[in-house]
Amino acid sequence: MSNTALRLRALEPTDIDLLYAWENDAATWAATNTIAPFSRHMLWQYLENYTGDIYVSHELRLMIENADGQAVGTVDLFNFDPLNNRAELGLFISEEFRGQGIGRPALDAIIDYALNHIGLRQLYIYVREDNAACLKLFDNYGFTRVGVLRQWVKRGTQYYDAVLLQQLL
């Protein structure tokens, strides 16, 4: 799956160092449910057992590569519900590549794949209310804010609201 700006590809064993760095960056945990580091062994087992078949594992994780072939992030479809043709969306852009216009083409590619290859009808995403850059990306892309979940995310001793956004495909 590609366009002129980037391509999405399957996970490879050689991605373990990047995944290890990204998954263990505590600064990004605020956008995920991660509360503890991952060991290389855990990530290796994940890569070994990952099928890439969304109908089996109910998730699809792809690496985002820029035009130079450099891995710059990941995109995920998870909590896949085949009965209702929907999935939750996750988008991660490595810090050094944020603000470079990668988010929109990554969304173009994954939404095209979700619609035309999986047959999804809708995607949804939860974004912490204080993540202005992410909210702006999804607002500009045409996702609809359908609700605010009060005190949905706990980090340390504080709770944060999360915005639920949805796009019908």
Whether 153 maps to a domain, the answer reads no
pTM: 0.90
The Cα 133–Cα 153 span in angstroms is 18
Whether 57 maps to a domain, the answer reads yes
Per-residue pLDDT of 38-92, as tens digits, reads 888 888 888 888 888 999 999 999 999 998 999 999 999 999 999 999 999 999 9
The Cα 155–Cα 87 span in angstroms is 25
Whether 150 maps to a domain, the answer reads no
CATH number at residue 40: 3.40.630.30
Q: What is the count of structural domains for the chain?
A: 1
Instruction: For 51-76, give the DSSP string.
Output: ---HHHHS-EEEEEEETTS-EEEEEE
Find, among 64, 110, 65, 73, the residue nearest to 93 by Cα.
Answer: 73
pLDDT score at 31:
64
Whether 132 maps to a domain, the answer reads no
